[in-house]
Structure 1
Amino acid sequence: MSMAERFVDNYLGHLLGQAHHALYRDFDEHVRAAGLSSIEWRVLAALHDGEALTVGQLAREVMSKQPTVTKLVQRMAEQGWVLLRADPDDQRCTRVAVTAAGRRVVRPLVEEARLHEARILRALGAGETRVLRRLLSRLAAL
């Protein structure tokens, strides 16, 4: 095989996917140990320290389809982790808020996620980490 560079070696989608895998590979064990699926973790992480979100907003936050998130948050409401309410400004929309029980489930995972991220980002240093966050935020906003 040629030593020429392969397309995927510099393809941004591939590199982002590989970086995502590196970041979550070990952390996912903590999520499963807490009894959560990865999407339940993302929902609780998105809600734990902010305002209630509509199902549509939440679907965008957790990078999933709205019907999937609708079913998921209904199950999570039955477990007592989230509360569903009609949006006061638009009765067709449902707002999702985390409950105290949901916060208790996600709080230790958020702390572990911060520690895990810090361990991984040590390889970059503070300056490169700031640049990486800024660039990724700009890409995500496109």
Structure 2
Amino acid sequence: MTDRKLALAAWESLFRAQHEVFHDMLADFDGTDISQAEYDVMLTVTRSPDMTARLRDITANMLISQPSVSRLVDRMVTNGLVTKCADPDDGRGSLITATDAGARAFRAVATVHGRSIAERMSALDDDELRTLRALSDKLRRS
């Protein structure tokens, strides 16, 4: 059986580390054409075949509710970052596609943000990074 105090201490440490790192990295989005939330949408969309993802797949990767994701995507359509159309395979679903402008804005931020992530994570060596990834994956699966 897991030591309850140790589990709570580990959770608090993980939570605080995530919060502090996340807060520090918000600066990566200052003065850019996309927000951190829009970046999260674009991350899923640009990694999908033909830079097109189902709205439900975007929602599954976000830490906000489905209605919030829908409103965010609608704002991104208005701002010319993505297009939205009906999913021919799912009458209730939508397909979200990155526009050329959206993909460019994402790549510009991704370059800076990727460097920032690598710099922050350089506090860990490669073995520690592999262990962190394995442990994080294990927590997500449980």
TM-score, structure 2 normalization:
0.83
1:75 aligned residue: 75
Question: Aligned residue for 1:17?
Answer: 15
Task: Name the structure 1 match of 2:85.
Answer: 85
Please identify, of 84-93 and 131-140, the stretch whose mean Cα deviation from structure 2 is larger. Answer: 131-140
Given that residues 34 and 106 in structure 2 are in contact (C-alpha distance below 8 angstroms), is that contact kept between their aligned partners in structure 1? no
Contact kept in structure 2, 1:48 and 1:98, CA below 8 Å: yes
User: 2:27: which partner in 1?
Assistant: 29
1:7 CA displacement: 7.9
Taking the aligned partners of 1:24 and 1:33, their CA distance within structure 2 comes to 17
CA distance in 2, matches of 1:67, 1:56: 11
Q: For 2:63, what is the secondary structure of its paired residue?
A: coil
Counterpart residue number, 2:120? 120
Which stretches in structure 2 are left out of the alignment for 5+ residues? Answer: none
Q: Which residue of 2 aligns with 1:39?
A: 37
CA distance in 2, matches of 1:117, 1:91: 38
Q: 1:57 is matched with which residue?
A: 57
SS at match of 2:14: helix
Please state whether the residue corresponding to 1:83 is helix, strand or coil. Answer: strand
Report percent identity of matched pairs: 26
Instruction: Give the length in aligned residue pairs.
Output: 136
Partner of 1:3: none
**1:48 aligned onto 2:80:** no
Q: Conserved in 1, the CA contact under 8 Å of 2:83 and 2:99?
A: yes
Q: 1 or 2, which has the higher helix percentage?
A: 2
Amino acid aligned to 2:43: A
RMSD: 2.1
Distance 1:8 1:134, change over 3 A: closer
CA 1:62/1:32 → structure 2, altered by over 3 Å: closer, same or farther? farther
What letter is aligned with 2:47? D
Letter in 2 for 1:124: L
Which consecutive unaligned segments of at least 5 residues does structure 1 have?
1-5
Contact 2:28 2:116 in 1 (8 A): no
